[in-house]
Amino acid sequence: MRGLWVGLVGLVGLGVVAGLPSAWAFARSADRIRSASDVPETEVGLVLGAGVRWDGTPSLILQGRLDVAKDLYEAGKIRRIIVSGSPESRGYSEPAVMRHHLVSHGVPADAIVLDESGVDTWQSCRRAAGEFGLRELTVISTRFHLRRAVAMCRRLGVDAHGVGHDAAADWRLERVAARGARREFLATVKAFWYSR
């Protein structure tokens, strides 16, 4: 009987440890995930990287994020865009690829700032708060990633809202979106303990 209780307590403890990070991300991002039309205006939008294709163009997931950023810029919701990612993605600078895509779609080059040290979400948020000294921004990512990204920025003292690209609505990205949503659970666990 004692072994049963120990096992039960262990399962409950494991459930708390696993569920706490998701509850943290949800609480920190509550009322902060917005649509392009109702997000508050901020000076800066932070676009988080999501991979480059072999030909040096943005992945489909990244294209979606960049399209959201362009739409927010054109609507006057943001006035500058930080493109944050790895300096080495399949032989290309991810932020340089992001800037090229935005400029080729009508965003002025002088409105875009490169951050080649944003190798993951935590580093991108940390640099936004530290190196760039931002106290508010709009995080632009994929919907399944937004809660964690906004929570991490807020953990660093940045008043962040998020607008996401709905990858699940694109038939070419349905499987990627489902895989990303599953991965997000473990990434949120890591973010919760890593960013404390």
Domain residue spans of the chain: 27-194
φ, ψ of residue 108 in degrees (nearest 5): -60, 140
- CATH number for the domain running over 27-194: 3.40.50.620
Q: What is the pLDDT of residue 190?
A: 66
Q: What is the pLDDT of residue 129?
A: 96
Among candidate residues 160, 166, 130, the one with its CA nearest the CA of residue 148: 160
Q: What is the pLDDT of residue 14?
A: 45
pTM over 0.75, yes/no: yes
Residues of the chain with pLDDT below 50 are 6, 8-15
Q: What is the pLDDT of residue 24?
A: 63
Q: What is the pLDDT of residue 121?
A: 93
Number of Cβ within a 10 Å radius of residue 190: 14
Q: What is the pLDDT of residue 62?
A: 95
Q: What is the pLDDT of residue 9?
A: 45
Write out the DSSP string of 94-115.
Answer: HHHHHHHHHHHTT--GGGEEEE
Locate 15 and state its tokens.
């459930």
